[in-house]
Structure formats: structure tokens, C-alpha cells
């Protein structure tokens, strides 16, 4: 079976307003609930681990308790970095979780199709990430703000979530990162350090991360067009 971990313990600085962006409503339903409901539609998923800041545990538990259509869930406390929040969530993995997905709670427009594709590829290859072809030209720069070089765009993808891994691979990757004080910006980067080849799966351009206030309006536009 598959367990999904949802980091939602950040401070939403770029959103502003002093509230957890995952609790903001998008066309009448919170970002967090939208995310959890989509994952709950995936048959193979049997448990949801939601990681939030200590002062929000009760609020979020109340929100989830009052919601229909969710797979069994547990709420736990996060840390100062996304990676530490996920590490805390991983302590609650049920014994029957052979595949673990990590998904930003702040990506409520993920589709069932993408989730299933990541699970399938994680089962087959050990690790898989949702990504989209990069639209921009990306430059590598130096500390003085000068261009060092330009990687060919055809080799670049923008990485999204979900990211999925066989349980033992992800746990080993998190242990190694903790031992070596490595802080990555996604889960795959921890797994890559084990030498595991991670498969890239088509992620969908609508699968944005709600980050700044404009993203709320962009997401609502996707929802209105119901192609999310
Ligand atoms: N997250 C987390 N624990 C942290 C930091 C982030 O669980 N210490 C979560 C966020 O709540 C979010 C996801 O990881 O759902 C992606 O992070 P990001 O979009 O950067 O959210 P924030 O860190 O909250 O936003 P900001 O960086 O603007 O403060
Ligand atoms: Mg952040």
C-alpha cells in the first residue's frame, strides 16, 4: 500500500498575511482539503500524514475530522525546514506502506493521473518525481552575478511533487541526510545521494505551488476551467 506525507508546516512568508496558506480557501475549499481529497481518490493510498506547525495541530485536526471523503489520516508537528517536517512525518509510517509519496500540501491542483503515474514509476524504478519541461532558459551564475554557463534547455525540467519512493529507499535517504547534515530542496535530492536513479514523470503545468497571492487567482482560474 501507499502512504502520502504532506508538509504543511511552513511559515507562508511569500504569501504574507501571517496565516498558513494551506488553510486559505480556493473557490470555497481550503488548499489543504483539496489536496487531501484528491489523494483520497487514489485506491492504493491507505494513509495520509499531515505535518503542520505545533500551534495548528488542533485547528487542522478539527478541519479534517469535519471532512468527508478522506482516507485515514494523522496530523503531526513539523520542523524549521521542509526536510525536517517530512522527517517527522516519516516517523508515523504504517507497517504496510511499501511506497511513500511526499507532496506539498500547497499543490492542490495535482491530478489523480499524476499521482498514479508517480506510484507506478516508484514501484518500478524505486523513485519517481513529477516534473514539467522547463520553459525558460536557465543560467548558472557566480557570486558576483555573472553568467558562468547555460545548460541546454532540453535537458532541464522543473520539479514538482508528488515524489514517490520505495519505503526503504526513502528512509535510508533521510537517515543519510541527517547523519551528514545535508539539507536538500526536494526529496529526490536526498535519494539521488544514495545512487538511486530517479524516474521523471509528466507532472502537468496546472500543478502549481500556491506561493504568492497571485497564485490563488491563478489556481481559481484553473478550477473554473475545471481542467485541474
Ligand atoms: N513546509 C513545511 N515545513 C517547513 C517549510 C515548509 O512543512 N519548515 C511545507 C509548506 O507548508 C508547504 C511546502 O512545504 O506546504 C512547500 O514549501 P513552501 O511553498 O516554501 O511553503 P512555505 O515555506 O510555508 O512558504 P515560504 O517559503 O514563502 O515561507
Ligand atoms: Mg518555504
pLDDT above 70: residue 224: yes
Ligand 1 nearest-atom number relative to CA 52: 7
Record the pTM: 0.97
pLDDT tens column, 68-89: 999 999 999 999 999 999 999 9
pLDDT tens column, 128-151: 999 999 999 999 999 999 999 999
What pLDDT score does 226 carry? 66
> Which of 10, 30, 101 is the best mutation target for the ligand 1 pocket, counting ligand atoms within 8 Å of the beta carbon and taking the most?
10
What pLDDT score does 228 carry? 47
d(C-alpha 31, C-alpha 21), whole Å: 8
pLDDT tens column, 116-126: 999 999 999 99
Q: Which residues neighbour ligand 2 (ion) by CB within 5 Å?
A: 10
Q: Ligand 1: residues within 6 Å at CB?
A: 7-14, 22, 51, 78-82, 85, 104-106, 209, 211
d(C-alpha 73, C-alpha 84), whole Å: 20
127 CA distance to ligand 1 centroid (A)? 22
Q: Looking at domain 2-227, what is its CATH homologous superfamily?
A: Spore Coat Polysaccharide Biosynthesis Protein SpsA; Chain A (3.90.550.10)
d(C-alpha 131, C-alpha 25), whole Å: 25
16 CA distance to ligand 2 centroid (A)? 12
Ligand nearest to the CA of 11: 1
pLDDT tens column, 150-181: 999 999 999 999 999 999 999 999 999 999 99
Average pLDDT along the chain: 97
CA proximity to 5, closest of 83, 120, 112, 57: 83
Write down the domain spans for the chain. 2-227
Question: How many Cβ atoms from other residues are within 10 Å of residue 16's Cβ?
Answer: 10
Task: Find how far residue 24's CA is from the centre of its chain.
Answer: 17
d(C-alpha 122, C-alpha 165), whole Å: 5
Ligand 1 nearest-atom number relative to CA 212: 28
Amino acid at each position: 500500500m501507499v502512504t502520502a506525507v504532506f508538509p504543511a508546516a511552513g511559515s507562508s512568508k511569500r504569501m504574507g498575511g501571517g496565516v498558513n496558506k494551506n488553510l486559505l480557501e480556493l473557490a470555497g475549499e481550503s488548499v489543504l482539503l483539496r489536496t487531501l481529497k484528491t489523494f483520497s481518490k487514489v485506491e492504493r493510498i491507505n494513509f495520509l500524514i499531515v505535518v503542520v506547525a505545533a500551534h495548528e495541530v488542533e485547528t487542522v485536526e478539527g478541519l479534517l475530522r469535519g471532512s468527508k471523503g478522506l482516507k485515514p489520516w494523522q496530523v503531526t508537528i513539523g520542523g524549521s525546514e521542509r526536510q525536517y517536517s517530512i522527517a517527522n512525518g516519516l516517523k508515523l509510517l504504517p507497517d504496510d506502506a511499501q511506497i511513500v509519496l511526499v507532496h506539498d500540501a500547497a499543490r492542490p491542483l495535482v491530478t489523480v493521473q499524476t499521482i498514479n503515474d508517480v506510484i507506478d514509476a516508484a514501484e518500478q524504478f524505486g523513485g519517481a518525481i513529477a516534473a514539467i519541461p522547463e520553459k525558460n532558459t536557465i543560467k548558472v551564475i557566480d557570486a558576483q552575478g555573472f553568467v558562468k554557463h547555460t545548460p541546454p534547455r532540453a535537458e532541464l525540467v522543473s520539479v514538482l511533487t508528488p515524489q514517490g519512493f520505495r519505503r526503504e529507499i526513502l528512509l535510508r535517504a533521510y537517515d543519510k541526510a541527517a547523519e551528514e547534515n545535508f539539507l536538500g530542496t526536494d526529496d529526490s535530492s536526498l535519494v539521488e545521494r544514495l545512487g538511486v536513479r530517479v524516474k521523471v514523470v509528466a507532472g502537468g503545468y496546472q500543478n502549481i505551488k500556491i506561493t504568492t497571492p497571485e497564485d490563488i487567482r491563478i489556481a481559481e482560474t484553473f478550477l473554473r476551467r475545471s481542467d485541474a
